[in-house]
């Protein structure tokens, strides 16, 4: 799980990476993580949902309730990575870039080129 922490001033950002088991990803644990990173309950928490049409693009979806977490987990099931965005201000444009998925075939080709 990657948590992208956006500051109140434009451009201020840091990334924290966490390892979590599926059962540990709950609204309660995400809210606790959010507060430990310095965000208040009224500030914003989103997850990146990859676009089916353009794999390098994603949409930010707000996380407020248990069912938002369930949808987030299901939408990232194949990739097995969750990207959380924390922000002190609402994000106006929900379209964001996301790292493309590397298929197993592409990974094998890259490994062969290194050898």
Report pTM: 0.75
- Tell me the pLDDT of the chain (115 aa) as tens digits: 888 888 755 556 788 888 888 888 999 999 999 999 889 988 999 999 988 787 788 899 999 999 999 999 998 888 888 999 999 889 888 888 886 555 444 455 555 555 5
User: Is the separation of the CB atoms in 85 and 6 below 8 Å?
Assistant: yes
Domain at 2-114: CATH code: 3.10.20
The domain limits of the chain are 2-114
User: Is the separation of the CB atoms in 59 and 94 below 8 Å?
Assistant: yes
């Amino acid at each position: 799980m990657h948590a992208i922490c956006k500051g109140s001033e434009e451009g201020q950002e840091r990334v924290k990476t966490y390892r979590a088991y599926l059962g540990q990803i709950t609204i309660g644990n995400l809210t606790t993580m959010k507060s430990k990173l310095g965000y208040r309950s009224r500030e914003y928490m989103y997850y990146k949902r990859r676009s089916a049409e353009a794999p390098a693009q994603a949409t930010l979806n707000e996380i407020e309730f248990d069912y938002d977490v369930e949808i987030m987990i299901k939408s990232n099931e194949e990739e097995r990575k969750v990207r959380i965005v924390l922000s002190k201000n609402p994000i106006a444009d929900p379209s964001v870039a996301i790292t493309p998925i590397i298929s197993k075939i592409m990974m094998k080709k890259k490994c062969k080129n290194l050898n």
